[in-house]
Structure 1
Amino acid sequence: MSGQDSKNDCPKCCVECMDACDILIKKIASNSTYVKQYALLCAEICEYCADHCEAHDHEHCKNCAASCKACAEECKKIAA
């Protein structure tokens, strides 16, 4: 094993989380009518990613989880 193997969705959810954040940024920049809905979805995806990354002892996973939690909180503020 490489030490990077995962028994959960950690590798996939990181990419999904980045994609969700990228889409939200684009929606904010275009002043989309649906920014709040995109922000809620982005928060949900970030929380999902944080949960999966937190399950690992790798430093980069812990850092990702912390960043995802912070991002989710900011997304919730946008959605409010």
Structure 2
Amino acid sequence: MALSEIDHLTDEMEQCIDSCLEAAQACEWCADECADHGEDMAECLRLCRDVADLATQCARMCARDSAFHTQTAELCAEACEACAEECGQHDHDHCQLCAEVLPECADACREMIEAMD
């Protein structure tokens, strides 16, 4: 069953869900890799874990058409931006992937919110 078969999902909600799940995957990988790099990667690890949790929650709330999915999407977008900024400061492949993927997730979350207004 494809997401397009869920009748309450708009195109923007589908894109938000897809972007959130991609962001969560990237951040889980990055957090795991950062754990092996010591204290200087602690902030990156924390932010990646926050994004992974928030992005997964956002996708879940959109899928069930929660009354709070737009608020969750805004918080997810903010966390994505903070994490992308942090990850962008590091040369590791996992950090650079986050720095690339997370702004796209933030944009998809905000586009979904705007479409809901």
Give the number of aligned pairs.
Answer: 78
Counting helix residues as a fraction of each chain, which structure ranks higher? 2
Q: Does structure 1 residue 52 correspond to structure 2 residue 105?
A: no
User: 17, 20, 37: which is aligned to 1:4?
Assistant: 37
Where do 5+ consecutive residues of structure 1 fail to align? Answer: none
Where do 5+ consecutive residues of structure 2 fail to align? Answer: 1-35
TM-score of the pair, normalised by structure 2 = 0.62
Q: Does structure 1 residue 35 correspond to structure 2 residue 38?
A: no
TM-score of the pair, normalised by structure 1 = 0.88
Could you tell me how far apart the structure 2 residues matched to 1:10 and 1:73 are?
Answer: 21
Could you tell me how far apart the structure 2 residues matched to 1:20 and 1:72 are?
Answer: 12
Which digits, 9 at most, give the CA deviation of each residue in 1:40-79, with x for residues without a partner? 1100000011011001111210111111111111111111
Q: For the aligned residues, what is the CA RMSD?
A: 1.5
Q: Does structure 1 residue 25 correspond to structure 2 residue 59?
A: yes
**Radius of gyration: which is bigger?**
2
Q: Percent identity?
A: 33
